[in-house]
Structure 1
Amino acid sequence: MTLSPDLLDAVAAGSHHDPHAVLGLHHEGDHWVVRARRPLARSVTAVFRDGSRAPMEHVRAGIWEGSHAGEPSAYTVTATYDDGSSHTADEAYRFAPTIGELDLHLIGEGRHEELWQALGAHVRELDGTRGTAFTVWAPHARAVRVVGDFNSWDGQSHAMRSMGRSGVWELFAPGVTEGSTYKFEILTTSGAWIMKADPMARAAEVPPGTASVVTESAYRWSDDAWLTHRTKQTPLSAPMSIYELHLGSWRAGLGYRDAADPLIEYVTAQGFTHVEFLPLSEHPFGGSWGYQVSGYYAPTSRFGSPDDLRYLIDRLHQAGIGVVMDWVPGHFPKDSFALGRFDGQALYEHPDPRRGEHRDWGTYIFDYGRNEVRNFLVANALYWFDQFHVDGLRVDAVASMLYLDYSREAGEWEPNIHGGRENLEAIQFLQEVNATSYKRFPGIAMIAEESTSFPGVTAPTDHAGLGFGFKWNMGWMNDSLEYIKRDPMYRSHHEGELSFSFVYAFSENYILPISHDEVVHGKGSLIGRMPGDHWQKLANVRAYLAYMWGHPGKKLLFMGQEFGQMAEWSEQRSLDWWMLEQPAHAQLHAFVATMNATYREHAPLWARDSDGAAFTRLGAPEWNPNVIAFARRDWHGNTVVVVCNFAGNPINRLTLALPEPGAWHEILNSDAESFGGSGVGNLGMVHADADGIAHLTVPPLGVLWLHHRSPAHIPSPTRG
């Protein structure tokens, strides 16, 4: 067969969409023709597995051709050069496609739930040869090449073949193994070559490097007991006290493996049930805290390898600690090496800037209506559950995804097909990712950071809800922080800021967050918001946290607030651990540990968090605007009453109608001397008369937790 000069030139330059149609082994008439690209060679020979040889002649532009009369089999190509050297290598273009028709069909339909198995870079052994299968989706590309340290970043020898209308490109590269760095070099429709990191890379260079890295996992998990237990329980009816942390500044310098022992020891001692990591997906700019992701499938290499992260999560599970990770499907950065304009045109982002850009953040917005993009994100959520065993994903900035006019002025956004402001494609994506995640991984938690009154965020998708397991209660957070910063002298006039949340506390499944966002950008720290002298600030923090832990909803606290760090958080340095050397801050630290332990031990504080029938507001017969009191019940009739006094003076005799007569044990007093308080309390016990009336002493800037055990759970006295 005669090949045109233009075709040969394009193949030689690595700019043809199907180099395998020219290179490799091809049946022509009664023999086989073998072609290889070996520029600058003096002679080239194909050596087949049966020992036969096919000398090759130069055709054009470094492409050589020979004839083989025997049966087709594996072969290598030996090239000699003018300096007398020779080089023998396997031939990339002799291999069949490494991606199948079913994979391509599912990708096109947007239904490939294990997309990471089909696309990206995978070390494989094919026909006795070990190498890496590279696959990438780039439908607008005219040609795609793999460049890396294995070809001196010259991709002409590793041009990929187009898999047709799917937009997928594929190449098996013999000899490329784990640890190799690579990118894709893409020829755009405008004729420019651009170099991009692999969107499906499972590892990346340490920033500021931007290349993708071929990786294999050799990790063997040991958390079967944890995963089995997880499938049998529902997070909604279990205690959840989350310690949110930024791994790079919790204790600076620790990697994934180094952090395991100190983090487990610390979280266990403090009594938190879960840790939540700020995003650990690869990101180019550390100052974004991980919220501008460039590698959705690659754990950031700042702290080690993907298997190192697996080790950390495995160890946390073995210690009985759940793992939540922040996930950012709402936007991505415009860095030229990453997803933006991936194949020269808008691909992952929506092409209309009214829907495809966040001007405030300088980022792109995903095109949620495109099958392949939606699939990329849904599969990414499943990837973290499947490959890293995380127990939950906290989805960042959900409000920005739900509304087309989010942070936009009139004329800067386009209504949906019904004329409304809702992003219907984003809503469908969120419903799909939640439903699919819960279907495949029972017992996990999908958590929405959603700050509006959008209805049904945690309602099931078959009831037109978004299908999240939990929603951050941003209204509670804003109102309660506004209240607690006020001088106690004036708090009585603003009681509604603290109690309004009771009106809607059961409309969604809530998490109460005091997150990283509340201790940055000039907001200071939690203790820094408190009024008064240092003693009063610490008392206010203890009271606020005790109120928060008693309030319906799961809990989240950002690192450093558990010991009253005074300075605003910075990702550039470690927490101020030296503050624990100060007795007052060590006492606050001890209080949080005790509070967490008490919370976990008493089911009324968590078993029915979203059940309004298990909650009662208290106050009669003496309503006091400085006192917030309420009762929580579990399924067995056990009750905890929370009594909060946010005034600066003690209440020596508060008459309060408790839900049950009898003895009420004081299980927590935020004003205890051991916590740095003044020691005002009830000597461990409060008695309610037959009508439930009790007279309490309530400490200043203090909170009491009172526990009443159901008679059915009180053991009978022993008879001698």
Structure 2
Amino acid sequence: MALRDTSRPETAGPAAAAAALDAADRDRLLGGAHHDPHALLGAHPVRGGTLFRALRPHARAVSVLVDGMRNPLVSEGGGLFSAVLPYPRIPAYTLLVTYDEDEREVHDPYRFLPALGELDLHLIREGRHEQLWRALGAEPMVHQGVAGTRFTVWAPNAQGVRVAGDFTYWDGTQYPMRSLGASGVWELFLPGIGEGDRYKFEITSRHGHRFLKADPMARCTEVPPDTASVVTASHHQWGDGQWMAHRGDTPVHEAPFSVYEVHLPSWRPGLTYRQLADELPAYVKEMGFTHVELMPVAGHPFSGSWGYQVTSYYAPTPRLGSPDDFRYLVDRLHQAGIGVIVDWVPAHFPKDDWALARFDGDPLYEPGNAARAEHPDWGTYEFDYGRTEVRNFLVANAVYWCEEFHVDGLRVDAVASMLYLDYSRDSGQWEPNVFGGREDLDAVAFLQEMNATVYRRCPGVVTIAEESTAWDGVTRPTDAGGLGFGLKWNMGWMHDSLQYIQKEPVHRKYHHHEMTFSMVYAYSENYVLPISHDEVVHGKRALVSKMPGDWWQRRANHRAYLGFMWAHPGKQLLFMGQEFAQGAEWSEAQGPEWWLLDDGYHSAGDHRGVQALVRDLNALYRARPALWQRDTDPGGFRWVLCDAAEDNVFAFLRFAADGSPLLAVSNFSPVVRHDYRLGVPREVPAWQEELNTDDARYGGGGVAVGPPGALKPADGSLALTLPPLATVFLAPVP
């Protein structure tokens, strides 16, 4: 913070003593409980000249430097120094602060006007600041011609707030902030503080307690277990202009959407964001997925939460690098033609005493009702969606990830826990809404506002709800009374189909409806079919390990199931490791078992075969609009065979917008079915096999659906050989 050599400034004559501070003001100022320190510190016109007062704890002496002239101030004790100097108007000045070891020339933070505008404060009060991160937090800037950082924080219940950091040895005494009135915002511009400096807010609650809190709006944080916020600014130069300009050309529900879900810290353990940028885009592109979905990347203190207990909503986890490093990863994925979805967690936050919980000494981000604030499942707090500033914090956060990091979508976690007042609560543990119902009307309004704002501001972005109930209108537009999401995870399909596929084939006929029931409601929402991390942890076993039978049958079931999934209406999502039939549950410590694909492993060919199938499924999926163009249109699907329970066979047609069909047939029994007849459209004279999950290349038995070449129907039916435990795709011969 030194400005220039001050070894020999000329010393002015004696200054007049300043009137002592009012005892109450002095106590509040030194105790961190004053709402307007700028009224006491800095320079102020008084009778006889200008009063200068500085607060510099541990300093031996302080002088005011004006035009090269040193004007010593008088110590008042407690780190306060003051004097009335004979300047009729407040001059341009700096402070010379002498410590035991050195003397520093610094700018006085208390000579600066507020660095936050009235429009910002108005929007914050209204809860409508859609770029809240530009108003709150730590913003490096040049203010009144001086470089420094503006610190702002919302703490309406605090008696006082001070900035503490590594630059104050974590003592906030030197830098009390001023209250900006009814907004509840506190502000201070600190000259000389810049990128890389660590800080927290030292808050004095209305109860008199004093504590340090990380910045809720911090855009960078220390690596856990350290918890300080870090001043940062972005210098990344984006190279994804082509992607951003065209990502919204086709509505997502009418576009191919095949998602690879990734936990970044464990996908390739030890890799940084920039190292991942060299490997992840190449792998995802080779595998043919259109998008990656990243499990939460926002700052979280406990790695074992996988990111679902967020303490820093505006900062990517620093475990893998800086915010610009994360931007670089997104940029590289876009340049490879891959969209980026991030998991977003507005349903709850942890109780860490340095973070959001009871932020200014009272419930602030959480409801004041303790029973309502507690999330019964996760030992966390829920957000107070009815408070305008809290809703603004979350809505702006959704916009932040889309605008600042160019992400293409938000998958919103645990939506059901937000929508219902009685979620995981017994009778007597919750209160109904004003209409006597169990719906959380504030949460509904928040989700509608979030979706409407994101879609308005960020063309081409999609929001995706993880919503496990039959709530009506999750993907209906907000102007029609819906929640406004673009897509919804189809938890019913996931649960039912996994229940079916885990049964021994001999028992599957009793569960046939579990595979057909999804088509009863398939067009009630815009769906994603998710086989996510949730299905391969906590004793649920990996996907291939859920399957019955010996190793060959488990792999065959796995392949047939994936084929059925890619054929079914709805978008697809597959968690890492399942694309090559990893046998063990996922562990965030080890990540996917890539060694299963190594040449030295005896079953490497089996795993490579499943990997090749997923690659080919994605290639076929992209190439055939019938598989994605009419996912939300009932006219894009027709059952061919839905009641063959005794045979464990399912067959249906998918249609593209131009009417071109694709036939999908799944045989979930371990026997070959010869001369199996299926009704097909008469206008198609010949069919050909497009993909067969029993192909020897995938580790199957190599049973073909018919002789090589065209397969011709007779009397409107097509005779096929159905491979065992397999799904086959057929298309009209061009």
Same fold (TM over 0.5): yes
Paired position in structure 2 for 1:696: 720
Whole-Å separation in 1 of the counterparts to 2:478 and 2:647:
41
Q: Partner residue of 1:365? A: 382
- Equivalent residues of 2:57, 2:174 under 8 A apart: no
1:393 counterpart letter in structure 2? L
State the one-letter code of the partner of 1:385.
C
- Of the three residues 181, 191, 198, the one matched with 1:174 is 191
Counterpart among 88, 98, 102 of residue 80 in structure 1: 98
After TM superposition, the score normalised by the length of structure 1 is 0.96
* Higher mean C-alpha displacement, 186-195 vs 352-361: 352-361
| Residue in 1 that maps onto 2:489 | 472
Alpha-carbon distance in 2 for matches of 1:396, 1:680 = 42
Indicate how the Cα distance of structure 1 residues 703 and 353 shifts in structure 2: closer, same or farther if over 3 A, else same: same
Q: Deviations over 1:334-362 (max 9, x none)?
A: 01111000000100001113321112210
**Structural mapping, 1:82-481, within 5 Å:** 83=100, 85-481=102-498
8 Å CA contact retained: 2:639, 2:651: yes
Letter in 1 for 2:508: R
Match of 1:668, SS? Answer: strand
Aligned length: 708
Residue pairs, 1:513-528, within 5 angstroms: 513-528=530-545
Does residue 661 of structure 1 match 2:684? Answer: yes
Question: Is the CA contact 1:661–1:692 (under 8 Å) kept in the aligned structure 2?
Answer: no
Residues 1:632 and 2:654 are matched in the alignment: yes
Does the CA contact (< 8 Å) of 1:663 and 1:686 recur in 2? Answer: yes
Distance in 2 (CA, whole Å) between partners of 1:623 and 1:617 is: 14
Instruction: Show the counterpart of 2:4.
Output: none
Q: Does 1:641 align with 2:663?
A: yes
Shift of 1:375: 0.1
Q: Is the contact between residue 9 and residue 61 of structure 1 (CA under 8 Å) also seen in structure 2?
A: no
Aligned partner letter, 2:639: R
Gaps of 5+ in 1: 715-720
Specify which of 87, 100, 105 is matched with residue 69 of structure 1: 87
CA distance in 2, matches of 1:532, 1:35: 82
Equivalent pair of 1:138/1:167 in contact (CA under 8 Å): yes
Q: Deviations over 1:518-550 (max 9, x none)?
A: 000001100000001100010000000000000
Counterpart of 1:655, as a letter, is R
Query: Does structure 2 conserve the Cα–Cα contact (< 8 Å) formed by 1:622 and 1:655?
Result: no
SS at match of 1:336: coil
Of 513, 528, 541, the residue aligned with 2:558 is 541
2:728 equivalent to 1:707? no
1:406 partner amino acid: Y
Aligned counterparts of 2:310 and 2:56: Cα–Cα separation in 1: 39
Q: Show the counterpart of 2:700.
A: 677
Q: Give me the whole-angstrom Cα distance separating, in 2, the residues matched to 1:569 and 1:368.
A: 34
* Shift in alpha-carbon separation, 1:129–1:484, aligned structure 2, 3 A: same
Q: Is the 8 A contact 1:650 1:697 kept in 2?
A: yes
1:561-619: per-residue Cα shift (whole Å, max 9, x none)?
01011111111113111111311111111111111111111000000101111110112
Which stretch shifts more, 217-226 or 233-242?
A: 233-242
Structure 2 partner of 1:596: 618
Asked whether the equivalents of residues 150 and 187 of structure 2 are also in contact (C-alpha less than 8 Å), the reply is yes
Aligned equivalents of 1:359, 1:701: Cα separation in 2? 42
Matched-pair contact (CA < 8 Å) for 2:644–2:650: no
Aligned-partner residue type, residue 214 of structure 1: V
* C-alpha distance in structure 1 between counterparts of 2:161 and 2:324, whole Å: 30
Counterpart of 2:634? 612
Q: Is the 1:240–1:274 contact (alpha carbons within 8 Å) kept by the matching residues of 2? A: yes
Deviation at 1:131, TM superposition (A): 1.2
Which amino acid counterpart does residue 477 of structure 1 have in structure 2? Answer: M
CA 1:276–1:73: 2 relative to 1, 3 Å: farther
TM superposition score normalised by structure 2: 0.94
- SS of alignment partner, residue 586 of structure 2: coil
User: Aligned equivalents of 1:469 and 1:73: distance in 2?
Assistant: 58
Partner of 1:20: 38
CA separation in 1, counterparts of 2:575 and 2:77? 65
Query: Identity of counterpart residues, as a percentage?
Result: 56
The corresponding residue for 1:718 is: none
The residue type paired with residue 705 of structure 1 is: F
Give deviations 1:270-290, integer Å, cap 9, x for gaps. 111111110000001100000
**CA separation in 2, counterparts of 1:40 and 1:651?**
88
Distance in 2 (CA, whole Å) between partners of 1:454 and 1:361 is 22
Provide the secondary structure at the position in 2 that maps to 1:569: coil
- Letter matched to residue 718 of structure 2: A
For the aligned residue pairs, the C-alpha RMSD in angstroms reads 1.6
| SS at 2:499 equivalent | helix
Cα contact 1:281–1:300 (8 A) shared by 2:
yes
| Alignment match, 1:717 | none
- AA partner of residue 679 (structure 1): G
